[in-house]
C-alpha cells in the first residue's frame, strides 16, 4: 500500500494536494531524499536525514518541523504501508507564501512530504553510458529537486541507444545522471572527489568503505573522458541502482564489454551489507 504523509497528516494518495503556488512547483525551490527499504528495514536512513539537513542548510531552507520528526514519520509511514521492499521519498520545499515572487518569503510555510511505495524492480545486470556535457549548476552537492538537466541527460542517452548519461565537464568525468561513477584501473578504484560538482552519494560512501575493507586501493581524484575509455572496469552507484556495472561508453566497450572482477566483488559485498 502506498502511504502519503503531507504537512502533518497521513492522507490518501489521490487526495494529497499542495497549493498551486508552492515554491517547489514554481521554482524547484526544494530538496529531497530517496531511501531504499530491504526486508522492511530502511537502509542508511540516518545518513539520508543528515544529508537532507545539510541540503536544507546550504539552501537556507527551513523545515516546518525537523529532520528528526520527518525520520519518525517516515518510519511510521513505512509501518502503515506493510511493505518489505519499498522506497521512502522525502521532499521539503519552501512552500506557499502568497502570489509568485522571486524574493524568499519572510514567513515561509514549508511543505513536507513523505511518500512510501513498493519497490518492485531491480538493478540491471549492466548498463551502457553516453557522454553528455555537464551543464548543471555549480551546487551539485545539494540534493535539489531542480533536476531538468539530469533528466535531459538520461533521455539524451536513451535517444542514442544507451541506458544512462555520463556527465563530462571541461573534459573531466563527474557522475551519471542520477548516480555516482567509479572506474577501475590496474586494480585501483577511482572516483571523482566529493565536492560541489557531484552529489555526496550515500551508496558511494558505503562502497568506498567496502573497497577499503576488501583491500582495494581507492583514489578520489578527477579523471578524463579518455582515461575512462581505457579503464579496466566501471560502475555506477546509487540508492536504487546499488552497484551496477557499466560495460560501455559511447561507441566503445569498457573492460571488454563485461562486468569486471572488482565490480562484481563490490556488488556482492554491497548486497550482503544491505540485506544484513
Q: Helices in 96-250 by DSSP H: which ranges?
A: 148-159, 202-213, 225-229
CA-based nearest residue to 211, from 183, 248, 240, 178 = 183
N-to-C CA span, the chain? 24
pLDDT of the residue at 98 = 84
CA-based nearest residue to 235, from 138, 123, 150 = 123
**Residue 267's CATH number:** 3.20.10.10
- 133 and 264 in a single domain? The answer is yes
From 118, 138, 153, the end of a domain falls on 118
Q: Model confidence over 209-268: pLDDT tens digits?
A: 999 999 999 999 999 999 999 999 999 999 999 999 999 999 999 999 999 999 999 999
Average pLDDT of span 106-118:
96
Q: Model confidence over 68-90: pLDDT tens digits?
A: 999 999 999 999 999 999 999 99
On the question of pLDDT at 190 being above 90, the answer is yes
**Residue 76's CATH number:** 3.30.470.10
- 208 and 132 in a single domain? The answer is yes
Q: Provide the pLDDT confidence category of residue 203 given band limits of 50, 70 and 90.
A: very high
Question: Total domain count for the chain?
Answer: 2
Neighbours of 120 (CB within 10 A): 7
Strand order in the sheet with 86-93: 9-11, 3-6, 111-118, 86-93, 30-38, 41-42
E strands in the chain: 3-6, 9-11, 30-38, 41-42, 86-93, 111-118, 127-133, 164-169, 172-176, 180-185, 188-191, 218-220, 233-238, 242-249, 252-253
Among the options 71, 143, 162, 267, which is catalytic? Answer: 143
Query: Does the pTM exceed 0.75?
Result: yes
Give the structural domain span for 88. 3-118
- 75 and 134 in a single domain? The answer is no
Share of the chain above pLDDT 70, in %: 100
DSSP state of 257: G
- 165 and 242 in a single domain? The answer is yes
- 225 and 141 in a single domain? The answer is yes
pLDDT of the residue at 97 = 82
Q: Rounded to whole angstroms, how far apart are CA atoms 55 and 74?
A: 18
- 146 and 229 in a single domain? The answer is yes
Q: Is 143 a catalytic residue?
A: yes
What does 19-61 look like in DSSP terms, one character per residue? -TT-HHHHH--EEEEEEEEETTEETTHHHHHHHHHHHHHHTT-
- 252 and 179 in a single domain? The answer is yes
From 61, 84, 118, the end of a domain falls on 118
Q: Provide the pLDDT confidence category of residue 100 given band limits of 50, 70 and 90.
A: very high
- 83 and 133 in a single domain? The answer is no
Average pLDDT of span 203-208:
98
DSSP state of 144: B
CA-based nearest residue to 163, from 233, 245, 239 = 245
- 61 and 136 in a single domain? The answer is no
Quote the crossing angle between the two packed helices 261-275 and 202-213, to the nearest 10°: 110
- 164 and 32 in a single domain? The answer is no
Comparing 259 with 106, the larger pLDDT belongs to 259
From 87, 118, 149, the end of a domain falls on 118
- 34 and 63 in a single domain? The answer is yes
- 201 and 173 in a single domain? The answer is yes
Amino acid at each position: 500500500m502506498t502511504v502519503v504523509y503531507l504537512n502533518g497528516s497521513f492522507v490518501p494518495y489521490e487526495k494529497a494536494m499542495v497549493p498551486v503556488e508552492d515554491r517547489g512547483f514554481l521554482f524547484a525551490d526544494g530538496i529531497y531524499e530517496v531511501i531504499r527499504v530491504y526486508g522492511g528495514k530502511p537502509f542508511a536512513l540516518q545518513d539520508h536525514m543528515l544529508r537532507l539537513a545539510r541540503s536544507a542548510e546550504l539552501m537556507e531552507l527551513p523545515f516546518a518541523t525537523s529532520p528528526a520528526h520527518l525520520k519518525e514519520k517516515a518510519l511510521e509511514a513505512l509501518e502503515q504501508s506493510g511493505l518489505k521492499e519499498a522506497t521512502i521519498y522525502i521532499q521539503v520545499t519552501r512552500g506557499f507564501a502568497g502570489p509568485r515572487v522571486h524574493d524568499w518569503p519572510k514567513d515561509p510555510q514549508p511543505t513536507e512530504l513523505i511518500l512510501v511505495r513498493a519497490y518492485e524492480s531491480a538493478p540491471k545486470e549492466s548498463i551502457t553510458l553516453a557522454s553528455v556535457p555537464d551543464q548543471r549548476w555549480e551546487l551539485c552537492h545539494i540534493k535539489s529537486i531542480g533536476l531538468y538537466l539530469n533528466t535531459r541527460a538520461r533521455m539524451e542517452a536513451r535517444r542514442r541507444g544507451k541506458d544512462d548519461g555520463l556527465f563530462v565537464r571541461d573534459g573531466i568525468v563527474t557522475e551519471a545522471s542520477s548516480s555516482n561513477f567509479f572506474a577501475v584501473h590496474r586494480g585501483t578504484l577511482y572516483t571523482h572527489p566529493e565536492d560541489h560538482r557531484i552529489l555526496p552519494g550515500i551508496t558511494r560512501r558505503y562502497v568506498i568503505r567496502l573497497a577499503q575493507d576488501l583491500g582495494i586501493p581507492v583514489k578520489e581524484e578527477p579523471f578524463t573522458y579518455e582515461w575512462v575509455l581505457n579503464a579496466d572496469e566501471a560502475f555506477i552507484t546509487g540508492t536504487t541502482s546499488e552497484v551496477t556495472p557499466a560495460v560501455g561508453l559511447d561507441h566503445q566497450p569498457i573492460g571488454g564489454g563485461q562486468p569486471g572482477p572488482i565490480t562484481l566483488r563490490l556488488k556482492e559485498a554491497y548486497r550482503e551489507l544491505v540485506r544484513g
